[in-house]
Amino acid sequence: MSHFLLMVVYALLVSLFFTLLWRRERKAQIKLFLQLFLGMAGGGLLVAYLMYPFPAGPPAPIP
């Protein structure tokens, strides 16, 4: 499985859990679910995009 797919599944499950825990009306549940899910999934993509220009490993040794 890819990291992205795992992140989306995690965001989906956490959003669903907190939506059912915190809201009773269907319209409020849908709104909260979308806010939480898009916030987590979109936030993860935004952080990944911001980290992309930086190198992943330690700096190369100077010869």
Q: Which residue from 51, 52, 9, 14 is spatially nearest to 33, judged by alpha carbons?
A: 14
**Cα 16 to Cα 9, 37, 38, 62, distances in angstroms:** 11, 8, 12, 50
> What is the predicted pLDDT for the residue at 7?
96
Q: Is the pLDDT of residue 19 over 90?
A: yes
Nearest Cα residue to 36 out of 21, 18, 15 = 15
Provide, rounded to the nearest whole percent, the portion of the chain with pLDDT above 90. 79
Residue 57's pLDDT is: 82
Average of per-residue pLDDT across 31-38? 97
Angle between helices 26-51 and 3-22 (to 10 degrees): 150
Could you tell me the residue ranges of all domains in the chain?
3-51
**Across 28-34, average pLDDT:** 97
Over residues 11-39, the mean pLDDT reads 97
